Structures are given as C-alpha cells and as structure tokens.
Amino acid sequence: RGIVPSIKDDRIVSDGTTILGGDCKAGVAAILEGVTSVKEEKKSHRPLQIVFTRGEEIGLVGASNLDWNMIHCDEAVVFDGNGPVNRITGCSPTYMRFDVDIVGRAAHAGVEPEKGLSAIRIATDIINQLPQGRLDDETTFNVGSISGGSVRNAVPSNAMFGGEFRSMNSETFDSLHMQLLDTLEQARQKYSEAIIAEELEVMFQMYNLDPEESIVQLATRVMRDMGMAPDIRPSGGGTDGNVFRLNGIANVVVGMSTNEMHTVNEYVIIPDLVNTARFCQEVITFSY
C-alpha cells in the first residue's frame, strides 16, 4: 500500500518510505513478458501451465491450498529468488512457526499487585531462554512479535508472542523443536497458576537440489546459452518450490532480479529483469 515506484538509472525503486514489492511482482512481470513474447513471435513451445499463488509471504498459503488435480505438470520453474535469474536456490530449510498464548491474572498494579500474575513477565521469561538470530550457517531462530496487557496500571492478564525457526539440518531442527517444547513445559512448572498454550506448525520442508534433475539441467543449459554461469547457493527462505516438491513436482527456484527484499531499500535491476523475462521465454521454447 502506498508504494510509489520510479526508475532511477538502471533500477526500479520505491520512494524510500515503503518496500518496492518486487518480491514476487518482478517474477510475475518476467513470466507475463516471457509468455507474451512467445505468443507475439508465434514460437512453438512445450506444454505449459502458469500458476500464480497468493499469500506466499505469510506461509506459502496459496501453494499449500492448490487443487493439485488441476496441475498436470511434473516439473516447474519458480521465479522467487533474490538477485539475477542465474542465481539458483540450491537448498532450503525446514521451517516451523509458533505462537504462544499466556493467561495470567489481572490485578491493580498500584493497590494490590501481589494478587496479580503478569502474563508479560512470563512471556519475557520464556523468550529470554530461547535462542535468537543466526545460530549457525544452516539455522536461524526468531521471536518476531509480542503483545499483551491493556492498561499501564493493571498487572497484565494476557500476553502472546510469535516466532519461527528454520534449519537445513534435520537434527538441529529437531533439537530446536524439543528445546522450545521443554522451555514451555518448564514455564508451566514455574508458573503453575498460569495457562500457557502453544500452536506449532511446520510450514515447509527442507530440500537439497539435485543437479541431475532434468528441470535443473534445462535451466542451467538455458542460462549458459544466454551467456550466464549458473550460480547455485543455499537460501534461508522458503518458496512455493518447497510445496511443489512435497507434491511431487520437481522444480528449480531462480532469481527474479530483486535485491534487498522486504526493506525500503529494495530495488530491481532493469537489465536483470529483462534477462529474467528472456530466460522465461527460452525455457518455454527450448528444443522447439
């Protein structure tokens, strides 16, 4: 909302007060241009389905709720990576989100605070025992939201916080899962009069890209034909590609020309965007 894009030199930028929204709109633009070019030039192409999903940023919601009976392909190219199109996501982590709700006991903060049980105090105690930030090259943990209470002169009876953790190592992921559950159980023991409830959900599973998959071979061949060297890197993020793989669709996630995503400094390099559209066109028409 309120995004005002403009062109500055060879970049598409916002006005500096909002994100640009190039993630994933740059990918959408490249797909539309690539397909339109194939149609305008009347080029022969391989059988093709185009899938635009919603709610990718909030948990791959659209991909997770696709009617897979409508999907007739077994391979896909996903335009959702950072940087130029030749930057390929080589591996992606398993991701778990969690929400914790705490119910304490309200009391007047100035008259009888002893009768209260601060839900915010409990929440901060739990959070302080959890890891934060980058734990190793494959793992991150973050508590990203917290709220609670209603007025400053009352012991807060409610609080909640939400977070996530992700890892490309299954043993590390399982260890963090158990650490979170153990920390919550210890809090229940310590604050036995409070109610502490959690919701945890694995949003997507890790994968390691197989360079011998035919879709990877196709993508890298097209990149080389375009004069670009494939640049395969790990990514700490998840994409619709994670969900596609769970449903038997081999895929390769490529860059879509965006940089510094999710920030007011986000930008799209126009020559990279043109290359992304060209790549889309070449993949569609390869060998036809």
- The helix (H) or strand (E) run that includes residue 23 is helix 22-40
**CA torsion through residues 213, 31, 86, 82, sign:** negative
**CA torsion through residues 65, 204, 269, 232, sign:** negative
Q: Nearest 5°: CA angle at 168, between 166 and 173?
A: 55
E-strand ranges in 65-157 read: 75-82, 87-92, 94-103, 107-108, 133-136, 139-148, 154-155
Q: Where are the domains of the chain?
A: 6-92+208-285, 94-204
Regarding the domain delimited by 6-92+208-285, which CATH topology (the fold level of the hierarchy) does it fall under? Answer: Aminopeptidase (3.40.630)
- Tell me the whole-structure pTM to 2 decimals: 0.80
The CATH code that applies to domain 94-204 is: 3.30.70.360
Per-residue pLDDT tens listing for the chain (288 residues): 788 888 999 999 988 899 888 888 889 999 999 999 999 999 999 889 999 888 776 767 777 888 889 989 999 999 988 899 999 999 999 999 999 999 999 999 999 999 999 999 999 999 999 999 999 999 999 999 999 999 999 999 999 999 999 999 999 999 999 999 999 999 999 999 999 999 999 988 888 899 899 999 999 999 999 999 999 998 888 888 888 988 899 999 999 998 888 889 999 999 999 999 999 999 999 975
d(CA 126, CA 38): 56
Q: Let me know if the fold of 6-92+208-285 is the same as that of 94-204.
A: no
Q: Supply the pLDDT for residue 288.
A: 52
